[in-house]
Amino acid sequence: MIGVGNLRIAALPALFSAAALLAGLPAGAQAQDDELGLPAGTPAPDAQVEDLDGNAVSLLDVVGSGPALIEFWASWCEQCELLQPQIDEIQERFAERIKVVAVAVAVNQSVRRVRRHVERHAPGYAFVYDAQGEAVRAYQALTTSIVVLIDGEGRIVSTGVGPQQPLVDAVEEMLGAAAGQS
């Protein structure tokens, strides 16, 4: 199989199909689980990623055992930039109750570029680098600005795309539901 950067030629049709699907959504729309990513209730899959020093780490080890928000992110992604205020608010308000992890995709960016971004912006949450695209494949995250919410039992609650996702409300609801189950 011929490689192009970190993508394989065989992966390109799936990538373009996903782009076509996403292009059909209104800008910033939250997709239904059957249209994007893994369905709600699916156990969160693990994937090998790298920390920003280039060490192999397990995504689920970084995420931990409690509720989590995973964003598939790129430094060049305008939609990710528009999501940032919500991610910042979640980190500020709920850092003790939810783990935020940005999965930096390896498309058109290097770990060095991601590290510079983190150094400049000091987001206060974890960034990992998906050098081999394993997390992207595991979560079926075929674009950036995809956000996956995972509950305290390690199951996917929702998957959405774009800056119009009501993330703060979704996190409040997920954490409130978790408190009601205790």
**Domains and their CATH numbers in the chain:** 3-181 (3.40.30.10)
pLDDT for res 167: 97
Segments of the chain scoring below 70 in pLDDT: 1-35, 178-182
Torsion, Cα 14 15 17 20, to 10 degrees, reads: 170
Structure-token pair, residue 86: 């919500």
pLDDT for res 96: 95
pLDDT for res 19: 41
Q: State pTM to two decimals.
A: 0.80
Q: Could you give the percent of the chain with pLDDT greater than 70?
A: 78
pLDDT for res 2: 35
pLDDT for res 36: 82
pLDDT for res 178: 66
